[in-house]
């Protein structure tokens, strides 16, 4: 019996059978496990970037690349390839084979984890489809996620390839942001699907003006967290975190001098370090304030129920933690541990925002 048909018991018209409930449980647990692995992937991606490891594997072999170098000669070949790019001379000159192996393993683990996630998605997908546990709609959606996951690997390579240009020592910021955004978008899609399989029918919340307003505010929060993440991607991609390491002022000013140095004006948001860092701070502050405001209103709206109140409070604590981590990363001039934890916590804040939104689906839906 399907765990996610487009009609019938899971839409609440007829009570689900015990078998359906079991399938729902198994399928959503599997999808939550993939979400967990995706957060791990985001953390690994941050670590790889911050340790300058991302350019260490200079070929793109989706299947055979799973096997790391097995002989000294192969290690030497890979190292010789790496020595040809400017990043080696500028960042890692003379670090020897042992140093190269260290950055190689970071990038290899990142790519291996991606392949492993593909398998964790594909094998149960085939099994659940054969046994009839998956409805057609859900099966097709999961196949699409599998294809998008593969595409994300290709985008990763598109990003890495930009770092091999003769005049660059790091990847192009726009491609880094593209890779980061696609990772987050896929994560949101799988998370939403997992939540919907686990709880297909939202708890009814009367559509009072207060409840409708909170629903809209949580939509706005999700959007703002997303934009702040993109701004964080540009902060990381342009190494903007290595400048203006004071808070809240930047070079003694609230708005840094040189914010509008580039023309046309919008170019500053993507290429001008003071503007990029200021925008990330401003967006993060607006996000945190909006979450605070929504919590105050939400807790005064009893019809939202305990689940929504609980989700809002968790979201509030997480955004505070994320804000503090951002400031710490900045003041300590981007140590690897802080940058990695800050990037990972962004995914967790987004998770809390999406869970809150999911719990509010029942506004006005009896
Ligand atoms: C809602 C709050 C915040 C969110 C969701 C957020 C999100 C992010 C993300 C996703 C990245 C990394 C992107 C990537 O590695 O590609 C990032 C980087 C960064 N963020 Fe935030 N951030 C927040 C608050 C802050 C605050 C308050 C500060 C400091 C004032 C800050 C400072 C930084 C710095 C310096 C980086 C670059 C670190 C690096 O190079 O790895 N963030 N942020």
Q: What is the pLDDT of residues 245-303, one digit of tens each?
A: 999 999 999 999 999 999 999 999 999 999 999 999 999 999 999 999 999 999 999 99
Q: Per the annotation, does 309 bind a ligand?
A: no
Tell me: cis bond preceding 69? Omega within 30 of 0 counts. Answer: no
Alpha-carbon distance of 81 to 90, in angstroms, equals 15
User: Which residue's CA is the closest to the ligand 1 atom numbered 13?
Assistant: 233
- Ligand 1 centroid to 23 CA: how many Å? 39
Look at residue 320 and tell me whether its pLDDT is greater than 90: yes
Q: How far apart are CA 25 and CA 31, in angstroms?
A: 10
CA distance 246 to 327: 9
Instruction: Give the pLDDT of residue 17.
Output: 85
* Angstrom distance (rounded) from CA 57 to CA 105: 9
Angle among Cα 222, 225, 228 to the nearest 5 degrees reads 150
| 342 CA → ligand 1 middle, Å | 6
- This model of the complex carries an ipTM of 0.96
CB of 178 closer than 6 angstroms to any ligand 1 atom: no
Q: Is 52 in the pocket of ligand 1 (CB under 6 A)?
A: no
Tell me the CA distances in angstroms from 312 to 130, 220, 292, 325, 349, one per residue in order: 39, 14, 9, 20, 11
Distance (Å, rounded) from C-alpha 132 to C-alpha 357?
A: 30
Nearest ligand 1 atom to the CA of 327 is: 29
**Residue whose CA lies nearest to ligand 1 atom number 1:** 284
Distance 323 CA to ligand 1 centre (A): 8
Q: How far is the CA of 60 from the centre of ligand 1 (A)?
A: 29
Q: Does 92 carry a binding-site annotation?
A: no
Per-residue model confidence (pLDDT) at position 14: 65
Tokens found for residue 217:
């505010």
* CA angle in degrees (0–180, nearest 5) for 150-230-341: 85
C-alpha to C-alpha distance for 113 and 50, rounded to whole angstroms: 18
pLDDT of residue 261: 97
pLDDT in tens, 150-192: 999 999 889 988 888 777 778 899 999 999 999 999 999 999 9
Cis peptide preceding 264, ω within 30 of 0: yes
Q: Where are the domains of the chain?
A: 1-201, 202-366
Whether ligand 1 lies within 6 angstroms of the CB of 334 is answered as yes
Q: Which residue has the higher pLDDT, 9 or 234?
A: 234
């Amino acid at each position: 019996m399907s765990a996610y048909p487009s009609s019938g018991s899971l839409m609440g018209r007829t009570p689900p059978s015990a078998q359906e409930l079991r399938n729902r449980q198994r399928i959503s647990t599997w999808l939550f496990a993939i979400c967990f692995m995706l957060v791990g992937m985001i953390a690994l991606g941050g670590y790889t970037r911050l340790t300058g490891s991302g350019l260490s594997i200079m070929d793109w072999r989706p299947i055979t690349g799973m096997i790391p170098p097995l002989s000294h000669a192969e290690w030497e070949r890979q190292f010789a390839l790496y020595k040809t790019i400017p990043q080696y001379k500028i960042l890692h000159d003379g670090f020897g084979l042992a140093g190269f192996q260290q950055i190689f393993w970071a990038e290899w683990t990142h790519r291996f984890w991606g392949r492993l996630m593909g398998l964790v998605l594909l094998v149960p997908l085939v099994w659940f489809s054969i046994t009839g546990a998956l409805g057609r709609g859900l099966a097709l959606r999961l196949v699409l996620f599998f294809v998008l996951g593969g595409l994300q690997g290709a985008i990763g390579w598109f990003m890495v390839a930009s770092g091999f240009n003769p005049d660059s020592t790091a990847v192009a910021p726009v491609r880094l942001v593209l890779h980061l955004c696609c990772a987050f978008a896929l994560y949101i899609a799988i998370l939403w699907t997992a939540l919907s399989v686990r709880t297909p029918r939202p708890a009814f919340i009367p559509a009072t003006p207060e409840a409708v307003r909170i629903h809209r505010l949580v939509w706005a929060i999700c959007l703002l967290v997303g934009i702040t993440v993109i701004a964080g991607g540009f902060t990381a991609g342009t190494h903007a975190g290595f400048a203006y390491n004071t808070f809240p002022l930047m070079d003694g000013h609230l708005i840094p001098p040189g914010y509008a140095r580039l023309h046309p004006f919008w170019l500053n948001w993507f290429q001008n370090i003071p503007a990029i860092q200021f925008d990330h701070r401003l967006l993060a502050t607006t996000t945190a304030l909006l979450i605070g405001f929504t919590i105050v209103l939400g807790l005064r709206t009893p019809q939202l129920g305990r689940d929504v109140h609980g989700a809002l409070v968790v979201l509030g604590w997480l955004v505070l933690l994320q804000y503090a981590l951002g400031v710490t990363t900045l003041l300590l001039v981007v140590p690897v541990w802080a940058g990695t934890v800050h990037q990972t916590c962004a995914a967790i804040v987004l998770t809390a925002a999406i869970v809150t939104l999911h719990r509010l689906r029942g506004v006005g839906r009896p």
